[in-house]
C-alpha cells in the first residue's frame, strides 16, 4: 500500500492531499531553519546531561518524603544548565503550567506588593490566580496589587508606559511570551531582552517572571538568557517531549527558586522533599527529546499557517514570519468552521479519534471552549491538538504534534472537514 492510499484510507481525499503537497513545496527553507535550531537545542540538552553525569541510578523511584533523591536533584541541575540559571524546580507536584505560575507569583509577592503585567492581560486561567475574577486564595485576597500595561497595536512592548508605571510598590513584572487566546504576535526573546533591560535600569531589585509556556526550544535562547529572574513552564508542553505525564518547572535565580520551593512544600522544607513517584525516566527522556518534538510541532504550525493563509484566512503568525512559540492561531470566522476544523484534528488522533468535539464550559474560561485532543497524556498540548473559546473572531489555536507526519495528517484532515462542510474550496 502506498502513502497516498494510506492517506485516503484515513479520510484525506486526493484533492486535499494535492493541495497540501502544493503548499509544502514552498516550505523547504522554513523547515531547514527549524531543523537547524532543533540540532542546536538538542546539543544543549545533551551537554547538560553529560555535564551532570546522568546515569541509570538517577531513574530510581522515590516515595514518601523523597529525601536524598539524587535523580530528582540531578534533573533540576540539568534544567538549570540548559536554561543557564542558578537553580531550577522541576516537580510532578507542579500539576500544570498555571500551578507553576501561581507558585512562582505567590512565593515572590507579599501583601502590599504590586504585580505589573507588561504584556497585557495574562492567559485566562491566571485571571482567578491574580484575582481579576474573584476566587478564594487569589493574590488579591492577600492584598497584592495588580496593574497591567497593554502591548502596542503592533504587538511590541509599550516601553514608555512601562517606564511610567514602575513605582516603589512594583515588586514583580509578569511577561507572557505566548499569545494565549488572543491574536496578538508572540513575543520574541529579543523583545523580552529589551523590556528587561529597561526595567532593570529603573529598578534592579524588581523580579521579572516570564511565562515561557509553548516557547521552549523554539529559539536558540530562552528568556533566562536575557535576564529573566524566573522562567516558568509546563512539562506537558514543549519540555516534556510528549513523555512527561505531569509536571512543571521554574528556572531562575536561587533566591526566587528557593522561595518557590518553600511555597510548593512548606517553609523550612523547600526542595528537600518531594518524591519523584517513578516519573524520572519520562522526565529525563522527554527533556532529551523535547528539541526534536518541538521542531515537529513547529513544522505543523508553519504548514497550517501556509495552507490556511493561501485559502484567505487570517493567521497569526503568517507562514513567512519568524516563530517564537508552537501555537498557530487561525481566524475561522464562525462557530461552524471552528467545529469542522477541530473535528479534523480529532479524527487524526491516535486516541479517541472517533469522538466528536463540541463547545462546552470549562473551568477558568469565560466562554464555551472547543477542544480537539486525542492525546496519550490528558491535556498535553505538545501532542496534536486544537482549541479555542467560541467567541468572535472565532479563532482556533492549533498546536503540537509529536512527529511531523502526524502534524501533517492533522492539518490535512482539518482541511478535509472544512471542505466537506462547504467552508473552503480548493
Q: Which of 222, 241, 276 is the last residue of a domain?
A: 276
* Residue 364 pLDDT > 70: no
Domain with 133, as residue range(s), is: 64-276
**Domains in the chain: how many in total?**
2
Judge contact between 298 and 324, C-beta under 8 A: no
Check whether residue 253 and residue 400 sit in a common domain.
no
Check whether residue 130 and residue 252 sit in a common domain.
yes
Check whether residue 236 and residue 306 sit in a common domain.
no
Look at residue 184 in the predicted model and tell me its pLDDT: 87
Look at residue 308 in the predicted model and tell me its pLDDT: 98
Return d(Cα 193, Cα 201) in angstroms, integer: 12
Check whether residue 89 and residue 191 sit in a common domain.
yes
* Residue 366 pLDDT > 80: no
Check whether residue 272 and residue 147 sit in a common domain.
yes
Check whether residue 94 and residue 241 sit in a common domain.
yes
Look at residue 322 in the predicted model and tell me its pLDDT: 94
Q: Indicate whether 48 belongs to any domain.
A: no
The predicted-structure confidence for 25-80, as pLDDT tens digits, reads as follows 999 999 999 999 999 999 999 999 999 999 999 999 999 999 999 999 999 999 99
Model pTM score? 0.95
Q: Indicate whether 52 belongs to any domain.
A: no
Percent above pLDDT 90 for the chain: 95
Check whether residue 226 and residue 81 sit in a common domain.
yes
- In this structure, the chain runs to a length of 426
Look at residue 305 in the predicted model and tell me its pLDDT: 98
Which CATH number belongs to the domain containing residue 69 in this structure?
3.40.640.10
The predicted-structure confidence for 201-220, as pLDDT tens digits, reads as follows 999 999 999 999 999 999 99
Check whether residue 248 and residue 127 sit in a common domain.
yes
Check whether residue 140 and residue 20 sit in a common domain.
no
Q: Which of 223, 255, 276 is the last residue of a domain?
A: 276
Q: Indicate whether 364 belongs to any domain.
A: yes
Read off the DSSP letter of residue 56: G
Percent above pLDDT 70 for the chain: 100
Check whether residue 410 and residue 296 sit in a common domain.
yes
Q: Which of 243, 276, 309 is the last residue of a domain?
A: 276
Q: Indicate whether 301 belongs to any domain.
A: yes
Which CATH number belongs to the domain containing residue 294 in this structure?
3.90.1150.60
Q: What secondary structure does DSSP assign to 353-387, as a single string?
A: TT-----B--TT-SS-EEEE---SSTT-TTSSEEE
**329 phi and psi angles, rounded to 5 deg:** -95, 135
Amino acid at each position: 500500500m502506498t502513502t497516498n492510499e494510506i492517506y485516503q484510507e484515513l479520510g484525506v481525499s486526493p484533492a486535499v492531499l494535492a493541495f497540501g503537497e502544493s503548499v509544502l513545496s514552498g516550505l523547504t527553507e522554513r523547515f531547514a531553519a527549524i531543523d537547524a535550531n532543533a540540532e542546536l537545542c538538542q546539543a544543549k540538552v545533551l551537554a547538560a546531561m553529560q555535564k551532570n553525569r546522568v546515569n541509570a541510578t538517577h531513574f530510581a523511584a522515590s516515595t514518601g518524603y523523597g529525601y536524598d533523591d539524587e535523580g530528582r536533584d540531578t534533573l533540576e541541575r540539568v534544567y538549570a544548565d540548559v536554561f543557564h540559571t542558578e537553580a531550577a524546580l522541576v516537580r510532578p507536584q507542579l500539576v500544570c503550567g498555571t500551578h507553576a505560575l501561581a507558585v512562582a507569583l505567590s512565593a515572590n509577592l507579599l501583601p502590599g506588593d504590586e504585580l505589573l503585567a507588561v504584556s497585557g492581560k495574562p492567559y485566562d486561567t491566571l485571571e482567578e490566580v491574580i484575582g481579576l475574577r474573584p476566587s478564594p486564595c487569589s493574590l488579591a485576597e492577600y492584598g497584592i496589587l495588580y496593574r497591567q500595561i497593554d502591548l502596542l497595536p503592533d504587538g511590541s512592548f509599550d516601553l514608555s508606559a512601562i517606564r511610567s508605571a514602575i513605582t516603589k510598590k512594583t515588586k514583580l513584572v509578569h511577561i507572557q511570551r505566548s499569545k494565549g487566546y488572543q491574536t496578538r504576535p508572540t513575543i520574541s526573546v529579543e523583545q523580552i531582552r529589551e523590556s528587561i533591560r529597561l526595567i532593570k535600569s529603573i529598578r534592579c531589585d524588581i523580579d521579572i517572571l516570564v511565562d515561557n509556556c509553548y516557547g521552549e526550544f523554539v529559539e536558540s535562547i530562552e528568556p533566562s538568557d536575557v535576564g529573566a529572574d524566573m522562567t516558568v513552564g509546563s512539562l506537558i508542553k514543549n519540555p516534556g517531549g510528549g513523555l512527561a505525564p505531569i509536571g512543571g518547572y521554574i528556572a531562575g535565580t536561587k533566591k526566587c527558586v528557593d522561595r518557590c520551593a518553600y511555597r510548593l512544600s512548606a517553609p523550612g522544607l523547600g526542595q528537600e522533599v518531594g518524591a519523584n513517584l517513578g516519573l524520572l525516566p519520562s522526565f529525563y527522556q522527554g527533556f532529551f527529546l523535547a528539541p526534536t518534538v518541538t521542531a515537529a510541532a513547529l513544522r505543523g504550525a508553519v504548514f497550517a499557517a501556509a495552507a490556511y493563509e493561501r485559502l484567505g484566512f487570517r493567521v497569526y503568525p503568517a507562514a513567512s514570519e519568524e516563530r517564537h512559540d508552537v501555537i498557530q492561531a487561525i481566524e475561522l470566522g464562525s462557530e461552524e468552521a471552528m467545529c469542522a476544523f477541530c473535528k479534523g484534528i480529532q479524527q487524526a488522533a491516535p486516541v479517541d479519534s472517533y469522538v466528536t468535539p463540541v463547545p462546552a464550559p470549562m473551568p477558568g474560561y469565560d466562554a464555551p471552549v472547543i477542544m480537539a485532543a486525542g492525546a496519550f497524556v490528558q491535556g498535553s498540548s505538545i501532542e496534536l491538538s486544537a482549541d479555542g473559546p467560541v467567541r468572535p473572531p472565532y479563532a482556533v489555536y492549533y498546536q503540537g504534534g509529536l512527529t511531523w507526519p502526524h502534524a501533517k495528517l492533522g492539518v490535512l484532515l482539518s482541511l478535509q472537514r472544512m471542505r466537506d462542510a462547504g467552508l473552503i474550496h480548493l
